[in-house]
Amino acid sequence: MSATTLFFISSGIFLGWSLGANHAANVFGTAVMSKMVRYRVAAIVAGIFVTLGAVFGGAGTTQTINQLGAVNALAGSFTVALAVGVAVAWMTYLKLPVSTSQAIVGGIIGWNLFTGSPTDTNAIVKIVSTWVTSPLLAAFFAFVLFLLLERTLKRARIHLLEIDAYTRAGLLIVGALASFALGANNIANVMGLFVPASPFHDVTLGHGLTFSGTQQLFLIGGLAIAIGIYTYGQQVMVTVGSDLYRITPLSGLVVVLAESIVLFLFSSQTLEALLLRLHLPTIPLVPLSSTQAVIGAVVGVGMAKQGRPVNLRVLGKIAAGWVIAPLAALLMTFISLFFVQNVFEQRVIAAQPAAAPLVATAAAPAGLSGPFFAP
Amino acid sequence: MALLFKNTKLVELQIDEYLDQIVQGGLVFKEGVRFYLEGRSEEFETHLALLREMENKADTLRRNIESQLYLRTLIPESRGDVLGLLESADKVLNIITDTLLEFSVEIPSLPTEVHQQFLDLVDYAINCSEHTVGGIRAYFRNLAAVRDHINKVQLYRRETNRMAETIKRTIFRRRMALSRKIHVRYFSYHVERIAEQADDVCDRLAIAAIKKYE
């Protein structure tokens, strides 16, 4: 991989770092803030499983993100990812759990507008519909799970200290699952943009195992997310873990479980294949906002508990971040593309855009597109 | 993971053992007072020594539990409440031990006609401490049962106060030296304090249980 390619991918790495810094809170925020799991342990577990999820389960949602708009030149991918990364980092600095999924949609639409490429309305409807359904589903799962757990505990009469130990173990296990689901679902936001212009080739590892170019790309993205979690994830955890609603360790467990179920539903290709075999309607494979899912789950637990109400002021602040982030990403992408194309004289769109939207597959396109890489 | 559950079990056992000391302390106290009233001084002193030993053991257990809860950051949400409960329950055992010690030191002369009343008074007060311990155990395993124990503590506390009043009325209507009357009153007041402290623990317990329900 050349230095130039690495430079272009660096914006994806930055976006991955931003995602990690911002989204660690969705996975381990409640566990860390309720002092059930140490931040260091949470960051290591999340980092490992996010990377695994990205490499082994990230292909499904990438297809959808590329249907929205196939950013087919590396300089274009770089600019979009950078603009989105800056928007997410800014929100992280403001301690707002922002949605990277929404920001990336803003970024791609910004690229489409700048390059005059069509925006696939079906894909955008599919994505936007999940912005409504995912928090609702998460709230529903959290509500049901919390009531079930509460009833079970009342009947089982387990000692408070044992509940504490089970909850601690549960938070770690569910946190690891949620990290895997986060990596699988959200890697499309980080590296999906680079898939149509991926510089990596498939590597055969022996025993029939192939490490595809896309997986190599996703490994880099996954590691970037892991580093983001480890270096800056603690900031947003305060907002999710304590400001919005005072989460107890047990309700924290329910929140993360509900979130990971929703993320799994919207990213599992296995589940999709199973539903197809059973002739049932499939769930769209869309990169979801784990932030929305977690906030939905927190509200669901709040409803089940009927005690202290959710802090509506903080909820409003978070929701405002969800609107601001895609708009900011769209605007920043548009302006950045203008500069990259006209000041730095880089091609932000391939000379001949693909007629049909590109679809990410295991095999990455051979070579780099665009005249920038021409000798 | 196995280590995590092993530590949890250890603390759980220590808490149970600590609460056992309070219950057994109450029973030893009851026996001790009975021996005192029957004039069996040797047995009384043996029981006092046993009670002091129990109090020391309970103190050691409480300190161990406290440090375990902090060092291993166990039950972070309820730790403050649990420590508060264990510390205030420790005061119940302290008062029980101090009261029996006062019998040994001051050797109060209790008229025979209040002996049975005094035994009843002790019985009610110790019932209070037993149900307080029951309430604390329920807090750990079965929150719904906490309320029943608290109600029983309140009932026995009222009975303790009523019995103490009866003793005082009996004593102060009797022809005997005022100093002796005041001395008997002082001892009934001491036994009453056991029930009062148990009631204070239950107030904490009620709040802790409400917080768990939140």
Residue B5's pLDDT is 77
Residues of B in contact with A160 (CB under 8 A): 75, 78, 82, 139-141
Residue of B3 and B36 predicted with greater confidence: B36
CB contact under 8 A, A165 and B5: yes
Q: What is the pLDDT of residues A228-254, one digit of tens each?
A: 888 877 777 766 555 555 678 888 889
DSSP lists the bridge partners of residue A120 as: none
**Closest-CA residue of chain A to B75:** A164
**Closest-CA residue of chain B to A150:** B213
Which tokens belong to B180? Answer: 């002796």
CB contact under 8 A, A160 and B5: no
* Most confident of the following: A281-285, A291-295, B82-86, B140-144: B82-86
Which tokens belong to A356? Answer: 């049909």
Coil, strand, or helix at residue B59?
A: helix
- Residues 204-263 of chain A with CB under 8 A from chain B are 248-249
Percentage, residues of chain B above pLDDT 70: 97
pLDDT at A371 over 60: no
Beta-carbon contacts of residue A21 (< 8 Å; ≥ 6 apart) = A89, A92, A228, A229, A231, A232, A233, A235, A236
Residues in chain B, overall count: 214
Q: Which of A43, A39, A41 is nearest to A20 (CA)?
A: A43
Chain centre to alpha carbon of residue B209:
20
- Interface pTM, i.e. ipTM: 0.85
CB contact under 8 A, B12 and A159: yes
DSSP lists the bridge partners of residue A206 as: A209
Mean of pLDDT over chain A: 78
| Contact indicator for A294, A100 with CB cutoff of 8 Å | no
Q: Distance from B77 to chain A by nearest Cα, in Å?
A: 7
Instruction: Specify the range with the lowest mean pLDDT, choosing from A153-167, A244-258, B133-147.
Output: A244-258
Residue A197's pLDDT is 66
Q: Which of A34, A154, A158 sits opposite B77 (nearest CB)?
A: A34
CB contact under 8 A, B77 and A248: yes
| CA end-to-end span of chain B | 29
Q: pLDDT-derived band of residue A2, with 50, 70 and 90 as boundaries?
A: low
pLDDT at A207 over 80: no
Q: How many CA atoms lie within 13 A of B57 on its CB side?
A: 17
Instruction: Specify the range with the lowest mean pLDDT, choosing from A17-31, A165-179, A250-264, B10-24.
Output: A17-31
Residue B150's pLDDT is 96
**Closest-CA residue of chain A to B143:** A154
Residue A266's pLDDT is 82
Residue B135's pLDDT is 97
pLDDT at B48 over 80: yes
Q: Which of B4, B141, B142 sits opposite A165 (nearest CB)?
A: B4
CA distance B204 to B198: 10
- Buried b / exposed e over A340-363, threshold 16 CB at 10 Å, is bbeeeebbbbbeeeeeebbebeee
A153 phi/psi in degrees, rounded to 5:
-65, -35
Q: pLDDT-derived band of residue A11, with 50, 70 and 90 as boundaries?
A: confident
What average pLDDT score do residues B29-33 get? 96
Q: Which of B56, B47, B49 is nearest to B29 (CA)?
A: B47
Q: Which of B8, B141, B143 sits opposite A165 (nearest CB)?
A: B8
CB contact under 8 A, A157 and B11: no
Chain centre to alpha carbon of residue A206:
31
Q: Distance from B55 to chain A by nearest Cα, in Å?
A: 24
Q: Distance from A352 to chain B by nearest Cα, in Å?
A: 57
| Contact indicator for B88, B204 with CB cutoff of 8 Å | yes
| CB-neighbour burial class of residue B116 (10 A; exposed 0-12, middle 13-18, buried 19+) | exposed
Q: Distance from A34 to chain B by nearest Cα, in Å?
A: 7
Which of B77, B85, B146, B147 to substitute to test the interface with A, most A CBs within 10 Å? B77
| Contact indicator for A179, A50 with CB cutoff of 8 Å | yes
Residues of B in contact with A248 (CB under 8 A): 77
Question: Which residue type sits at A362?
Answer: A
CB contact under 8 A, B75 and A164: yes
Q: Distance from B11 to chain A by nearest Cα, in Å?
A: 8
Percentage, residues of chain A above pLDDT 70: 83
A203 phi/psi in degrees, rounded to 5:
-120, 130
CB contact under 8 A, B141 and A159: yes
Residue B152's pLDDT is 96
Strands, E assignment, chain A:
203-206, 209-211
| Contact indicator for B194, B126 with CB cutoff of 8 Å | yes
Residue A108's pLDDT is 86
Residue with tokens 């005059």: A116
CA distance A67 to A195: 12
Q: Which of A314, A265, A260 is nearest to A26 (CA)?
A: A260
Which of B17, B65, B141, B147 to substitute to test the interface with A, most A CBs within 10 Å? B141
Residues of B in contact with A35 (CB under 8 A): 73, 76
DSSP lists the bridge partners of residue A10 as: none
pLDDT at A215 over 50: yes
CB contact under 8 A, A162 and B8: yes
Residues on chain B bordering chain A, Cβ-to-Cβ distance under 8 angstroms? 1, 4-5, 8, 11-12, 15, 73-78, 82, 139-144, 213-214
Residue B1's pLDDT is 58
Q: What is the pLDDT of residues A250-267, one digit of tens each?
A: 888 898 899 888 888 887
